[in-house]
Amino acid sequence: MAVEAIPLVPRGHQQVIQSYGGGGFTVAGQRYRGDVLVFPERTVAWSGTADPSLESLADVAAAGADVALLLLGLGINGGLAAPALRAALKKSGIAVEAMTTAAACRTFNVLLAEERRVAAALLAIE
């Protein structure tokens, strides 16, 4: 079952997360099956894990100054980001916040509306 996220009207090509659940996400009117990386201007498939590594988040690290905060949506129960991952991304100027996937979707939309430099790595939930 998909759950509707905070209803926002996207500006331009903004990647507003419209719903999550049912094994995927609806972002900017497009349905994605499985895990995703969401940036303000694009969404891509992601081979996510409950313990993400710097390698699995290479697209985020490569975004450089375009991302100041990465939200990790780590499923229904959430989780913690490994200290090594936090340290590695901090060197790139990216802070990391881990939470449930639902909270990450809602937080991403709020920060996107505030025009913050945010990205989200989201594990799909049923």
- Mean pLDDT, range 114-121, rounded to an integer: 97
For residue 68, the 8-state DSSP code is S
Q: Which domains does the chain have, with CATH numbers?
A: 2-122 (3.40.1230.10)
Structure confidence by residue, pLDDT tens digits, 40-52? 999 999 999 889 9
Indicate the residue type of 98. Answer: A
32 in Cβ contact with 20 (< 8 Å):
no
Tokens at 62, concatenated: 């490569």
**Beta-bridge partners for 33:** 24
pLDDT at 12 over 90: no
User: What share of the chain has pLDDT > 70, as a percent?
Assistant: 90
Structure confidence by residue, pLDDT tens digits, 91-116? 999 999 999 999 999 999 999 999 99
- The number of helices, as runs of H, and strands, as runs of E, in the chain is 3, 9
Structure confidence by residue, pLDDT tens digits, 13-24? 699 999 999 999
Task: Give how far the C-alpha of residue 123 lies from the chain's centroid of Cα atoms, to the nearest Å.
Answer: 9
pLDDT at 35 over 80: yes
67 in Cβ contact with 117 (< 8 Å):
yes
For residue 33, the 8-state DSSP code is E
pLDDT band at 123 (very low <50, low <70, confident <90, very high): very high
